[in-house]
Amino acid sequence: YVAAAYKLGITTGTSETTFAPSATITREQLSTMLYRVILKAREDGINENEMPITLDEFIGFINKYNKESKEEN
């Protein structure tokens, strides 16, 4: 799965030559990967209405989460 995600541009690894597939990832890293998945689906012509979440909805969710997270701290 790591090689496929790399080939599709969803992940770039922990450096230019390594991956850490068993490592814990941050919310930011997960958000970045999900964002790239949605962009890739768009590029491949997948209708956004057929996806579980649109890019705009995803960005709105991330912005709301970030705002709420900052308010808590």
Question: Which structure tokens are listed for 32?
Answer: 């970045």
Q: Is 19:2 a contact under the CB 8 Å cutoff?
A: yes
Phi-psi region of 45 (alpha: psi -120 to 50; beta: other; left: phi over 0): left
43-55 per-residue burial string, b: 16 or more CB within 10 A, e: under 16: eeeeeeeeeeeee
Looking at residue 73, its pLDDT comes to 62
With 0.85 as the threshold, say if the pTM is over it: no
Check residue 24 and give its pLDDT. 92
What does each of the 73 residues of the chain score in pLDDT, given as a tens digit?
A: 888 888 888 988 888 888 888 899 888 888 888 889 888 888 888 887 788 888 888 888 888 877 777 777 6
CB 33, CB 10: distance < 8 Å: yes
